[in-house]
Amino acid sequence: MRFCSLLMLGLLAALAAPSAWAHKPSDSYLIVQADSSSKVLAAQWDIALRDLEVALQLDANRDGVITWGEVRTREADLFAYAFTHLRIQADGSTCRLAPDDLLIDDHSDGAYAVLKFKADCAAVPRSIDVGYSLLFDIDPSHRGLLRLDFDGNSRSAVLSPDHAVQTFALAETSRLATFLQFVEEGIHHIWIGYDHMLFLISLLLPSVLLRRNGEWVPVGTLRSALLSVLAIVTAFTVSHSITLTLSALGVIGLPSRLVESGIALSVLLAALNNIWPQVTRRAWLLAFGFGLVHGFGFASVLADLGLPQGALAWSLAGFNIGVEIGQLSVVLVVVPAIFLLRERRFYRPLVLVSGSCVIAAVAGIWLMSRALGFGLG
């Protein structure tokens, strides 16, 4: 245990500097509004100031704070940079993008520049192509979350390096396309959601062991291990689905800092429970309790997009299923490996205890940075 304490202290010191541990992925939010009586599209594009700082160095005096004055003086550069990475075409002809207004708004993860603009097309469009490349050269994990409104109907799409161009026939409604895109986004989110991933792994590590007389002993059969994993995964799925749905539908919400801090705390406590076991027989209760907090984290990307109820239902269903697919992929990789290793002498001291020490140290950094606003995680 002394080794574990020293390892955690060392990792805390080593990880205290980076800022690359943020839970919230890089997203921008693009809303395009069209109607059947006009060839001019109205649009709004919300882009995180932290992302624009990387691309344009908005913080002129380098004091670590981007002010409205600094943003306003770079208005022309902001629109020029944004328009370089966006193409809107109507029936194959490129629409001319023209700035309208520049504002600042707060999202759950910080301040965003709000670029209002118009797209002047040659004629009233029957179909629209949106080509998007913002930040892909800097951050390939960046996503553009698009909402297209047309005559009271809304559709949504996720713009990524693999799906940088999206085509919409305005007279058609493709709920299936929206659903499938958000399935993919849910898978992507769980794979880059390192805190969700580490929480799940912390719960899985002891699933191939039993606690007897104060000692960890290997489970006898794969069936026993799978029953334990099934209980954990089911409890986590049910609980985070509850809060994901309630939060995304606007029934209940919590402050982003509280949610992100709670997620970090859940990872820390799950890892510490492997080192100093307190909950050993009903790990599913731990998964269910903290899964409620993780659901609010899963909902943040959907809530920020602000989808109307019709589109939100399909997006929410697809995203939730995608999260489960991503989660099951982790289980299918981790559980067979740890089951094969469970009887090896190194499994308990190195994999279970030392691995949990590393997870706890990382979670401690996340918790401090999120709760105290250090900007580290």
């799925």: which residue's tokens? 237
- pLDDT at res. 313: 75
Contact 66, 58 (CB under 8 A): yes
Residue 256 pLDDT: 80
pLDDT surpassing 80 at residue 363 = yes
The predicted pLDDT at position 128 comes to 95
CA dist., res. 60 & res. 74, Å (int): 10
Dihedral through CA 184, CA 316, CA 85, CA 89, nearest 10?
100
Mean pLDDT in the chain? 85
How far lies 214's CA from each of 211, 275, 277, in Å?
6, 12, 9
- 20 — pLDDT class (breaks 50, 70, 90): very low
pLDDT at 190: 85
Question: For residue 141, which amino acid is it?
Answer: S
By mean pLDDT, which of 14-28, 51-65, 131-145, 172-186 is the weakest? 14-28
- pLDDT band at 270, cuts 50/70/90? very high
| 128 DSSP β-pair partners | 90, 168
pTM tops 0.75, yes or no: no
pLDDT of residue 302: 67
**Plot region of 306 (φ>0 → left; ψ -120 to 50 → alpha; else → beta):** left
Euclidean distance between CA atoms 247 and 40, whole angstroms? 34
Residue type, 180: L
What's the CA gap between 97 and 81, in Å, rounded? 12
